[in-house]
Chains A and B, each alone.
Chain A
Amino acid sequence: MQGKGPPRSLWERLGEIDYRWLYALSLVLMVIPILRPFGLPTVVSEPTKGYYKAIVDLPPGSVVAVSFGSSLALLDEQEAQFIATWKVYFQHDLKVIFYCTYADSMIILNEELDKIVKPESYGKAYGVDYVRLPYAPLGESGEAAFATNIRGVYPTDIYGTPLDEIPMMKDINDHRGIDLIHFQYTSCTDVEFVIRQWVVPYGKKAIITTLGCCGPMAAPYYPTQIKGFLSGSGMGTELEVLSGNPGPGAVMSDAKNLGILGLLLFLLLGNISYIGKKFGGKG
């Protein structure tokens, strides 16, 4: 793909390797651990520990509200986070209200709960231990509305049953019935929604899950305003390790460990080329 010109020195050629070699090398390095996982070690970071602690410290029977706004195209980055977290909820006898804030998220919620997490396998019953509320485009004002009047935003669950007829929801209609807010989002600046609408006005305990690139935006709020956060599949893997719930994150982490090496090698070659051209003369 590079242009043809006069004969080039070794240094120049090192800096102009066809990108497709970089692509191919990275692909090969990623495929190896998928075929044969190594189980390389994972260090659990402080925000993940805080996240886990915020959940397991809740007394059994506490209510968690999960504001769920994930997208189908971003599932690779977040699936490990959801699955591990939801398993922890059911393992610790917490009651969970899932509410969907993005069109795709209802599809993901149903798929992951029914096919992977399977609350019934923990002895949990729908309507008694957890509920699923459908998609509504909440945004920040919608989050504020949910915290003050759940029925105003979600009159029914995803099956069309009025909330008043669901045993678990009988006495819950606003933030007073919620013990922990779990905010899940993919647009980095949305982190402020949970701070402004749950933490500041009601002093609610909050945890968040988001994309890897949104970690920088979430970090300033930890640990004062949010008790912990998972950004990206790497931290999803950390939670899998910490909670003893192996899941999709482990293979991802192995493949990441190796997959990045191709890029690092090319960065090295690029710099050797630069230094060589500057100080080495003709190669």
Chain B
Amino acid sequence: MKVNFWEILGAWVGAFFVISVMTMLWKDNPYFRFGQQAIIGATIAHMVLFNMKNVINMALIPISKGQLLLIIPFILGLMTYTRLLKDYAWIAKYPTSVLVGVGVGVMIAGTLRGQIIDQVKATVMDVFAATTATDTINGVIIAVGTVTAITFWIFTREHTGALGMSAKIGRVFLMISLGANWAGEEVWYLTQMIGRLIFLIEVFIKGALLGIA
């Protein structure tokens, strides 16, 4: 098998960082700390590179071609740096205001339909659009879960009596949902762990160390 120097070096470097991260499960140590400091530098550089590319492509080049309006966001971006100057720190409020204003507008528009109206519609249709008795029962269970879960988040009444009972039922639904979410993520992370072990065994130990891949 042809040995590629860069592949072998990549396996060594990769294994170095994989093991560095994993050692944090044991306890804090200088090896982990070194890996962590290295990756901070690397990710900031990665982010800076991509963002600079965006600034050049989306602002500087178009500005040089006459799209002068783009000077505004570019200057707003520069204004964030006034945070570093004690007397002019307040200027940084302007870019924040533009970003939050746009963000809130986008949020309100997207949330009303997707997370409220459509959810209400789906709750009704789960019951009435069902074609079998089982689906209808499931639809009713979903509706009960939705309504009781909402009552759990009622804050202006103490959770006693009927509201208390409803909130308690809602909490059971919520717990099942949390358990299922945990399981979905746990099995995914298990796969990731196995993937790293395969890398360490097949690529690093067998390939780079023993040369038997």
A–B touch (CB < 8 A): the answer is yes
Residues of A within 8 A of B (CB): 20, 23, 26-27, 30-31, 34-35, 74-77, 103, 211-216, 232-234, 248, 251-252, 255-256, 259-260, 263
Most chain A CB within 10 A, of B181, B187, B194, is at B194
Interface pick from B31-39, B147-155, B195-203: B195-203
Partner of B191, one of A23, A103, A232: A232
Q: Are B26 and A20 in contact (CB under 8 A)?
A: yes
Assess whether B190 is interfacial by the CB under 8 Å rule.
Answer: yes
Assess whether B6 is interfacial by the CB under 8 Å rule.
Answer: no
Residues of B within 8 A of A (CB): 25-26, 50, 180-181, 184-188, 190-198, 201-202
Most chain A CB within 10 A, of B180, B186, B188, B202, is at B188
B50's nearest neighbour on chain A, judged by CB, is: A103
Within 8 Å CB of B184, what residues of A?
212-216
Q: Are A252 and B187 in contact (CB under 8 A)?
A: no
Partner of B193, one of A30, A214, A216, A248: A30
Within 8 Å CB of B25, what residues of A?
20, 23
Instruction: Say yes or no: A259-B195 contact (C-beta < 8 A), given A23-B25, A34-B201, A35-B201.
Output: no
Partner of A31, one of B186, B188, B197: B197
**Closest chain B CB from A18 CB (angstroms):** 11
Q: Are B197 and A232 in contact (CB under 8 A)?
A: no
Complex: A77 Cα to B181 Cα, angstroms: 17
Within 8 Å CB of A214, what residues of B?
184
A236's nearest neighbour on chain B, judged by CB, is: B191
Within 8 Å CB of A212, what residues of B?
184, 187-188, 191
Within 8 Å CB of A248, what residues of B?
198
Within 8 Å CB of A215, what residues of B?
184
Within 8 Å CB of B194, what residues of A?
30, 34, 76, 251-252, 255-256, 259
Within 8 Å CB of B191, what residues of A?
76-77, 212, 232-234, 252, 256
B177's nearest neighbour on chain A, judged by CB, is: A216
Within 8 Å CB of B190, what residues of A?
256, 259-260
Complex: A31 Cα to B192 Cα, angstroms: 13
Complex: A232 Cα to B186 Cα, angstroms: 11
Q: Are A27 and B50 in contact (CB under 8 A)?
A: no
Q: Are B180 and A216 in contact (CB under 8 A)?
A: yes
Partner of B198, one of A26, A213, A251: A251
Within 8 Å CB of B50, what residues of A?
103
Within 8 Å CB of B180, what residues of A?
216
Complex: A215 Cα to B180 Cα, angstroms: 11
Within 8 Å CB of A213, what residues of B?
181, 184-185, 187-188
Partner of A211, one of B188, B193, B197, B201: B188
Within 8 Å CB of A255, what residues of B?
194, 197-198
Complex: A211 Cα to B202 Cα, angstroms: 24
